[in-house]
Amino acid sequence: MTADIWFLLAIGFSFAGYATYLIGLRRELVEPNRASWLIWSAATSLEALTYAAVNPGAPQGWVFALSSIACIVVTIGIWRRSSWAPPSPTETFCIAASLSALMLWLVFREAFWAHMLVVLAVPISFWPTWASVWTDRSRERSPAWGLWTFGDLATLLVAVRATQPGVAELAYVIVEFLCHASIWFLIGLATINPLRSFGTRRGRLLWFDRYRPSNNLFKVGDNHLGKAVFATGAFAEGDVLIEFTGRRFRADQIPSLMRGRGDRFVQVTPDHYMGPSGRIDDLVNHSCAPNAGLRFTDAGVFLVAVRAIQPGEEIAWDYSTTLRESNWHMICQCRAPECRRVIGNFDSLDPDRQEWFRARNLVAPYLRRKDEVAGKRKAVGRG
Percent of the chain with pLDDT over 70: 70
Query: b or e along 360-373 (b: 16 or more beta carbons within 10 Å of the residue's beta carbon)?
Result: eebbbebbeebeee
State the pLDDT confidence band at 289, using cuts at 50, 70 and 90.
Answer: very high
Write out pLDDT tens, residues 9-63: 888 888 888 888 887 777 666 767 677 777 778 777 777 776 666 666 666 667 7
* pLDDT of amino acid 196: 58
**Between 114 and 209, residue with greater pLDDT:** 114
* Right CATH for 220-382 from 3.40.50.10330, 2.170.270.10, 3.50.50.60, 3.30.360.10: 2.170.270.10
Cα atoms found within 13 Å of the Cα of residue 323, Cβ hemisphere only: 20
* pLDDT of amino acid 334: 92
* pLDDT of amino acid 339: 93
* pLDDT of amino acid 189: 59
pTM of the model: 0.51
Can you tell me the distance from the alpha carbon of 116 to that of 330, in angstroms, rounded to the nearest whole number?
Answer: 49
C-alpha distances out from residue 373 to 234, 298, 370, Å: 38, 21, 5
Residue 257 pLDDT more than 60?
Answer: no
Can you tell me the distance from the alpha carbon of 264 to that of 266, in angstroms, rounded to the nearest whole number?
Answer: 7
- Helices 111-135 + 167-187 axis angle, to 10: 10
Per DSSP, which regions of 17-56 are E strands?
none
* pLDDT of amino acid 304: 94
Q: What is the DSSP string of 123-149?
A: HHHHHHHHHHHHH-GGGG--THHHHHH
Residue 315 pLDDT more than 60?
Answer: yes
Asked whether the beta carbons of 314 and 223 are under 8 A apart, the reply is: yes
Can you tell me the mean pLDDT for 267-292?
85
* pLDDT of amino acid 45: 77
Residue 318 pLDDT more than 90?
Answer: yes
**Between 371 and 185, residue with greater pLDDT:** 185
- E strand or H helix that includes residue 330: strand 330-331
* pLDDT of amino acid 291: 95
C-alpha distances out from residue 145 to 16, 130, 140, 150, Å: 10, 13, 8, 9
**Between 89 and 334, residue with greater pLDDT:** 334
* pLDDT of amino acid 89: 73
Write out pLDDT tens, residues 78-109: 776 654 556 667 667 767 776 776 676 667 66
Can you tell me the mean pLDDT for 339-344?
90
Which range is most confident: 229-233, 295-299, 314-318, 341-345?
314-318
Write out pLDDT tens, residues 165-224: 566 667 778 888 898 888 888 877 554 556 656 655 444 444 444 433 434 688 888 888
Q: Which of 7-11, 258-262, 325-329, 360-364 has the lowest mean pLDDT?
A: 258-262
Q: What is the DSSP string of 203-272?
A: TEE-SS----GGG-SEEEEEETTEEEEEESS-B-TT-EEEEE-PPEEEGGGS-GGG-STT---EEEETTE
Residue 305 pLDDT more than 90?
Answer: yes
Can you tell me the distance from the alpha carbon of 92 to that of 365, in angstroms, rounded to the nearest whole number?
Answer: 52
Q: Is 286 helix (H, G, I), strand (E, B) or coil?
A: strand
* pLDDT of amino acid 286: 92
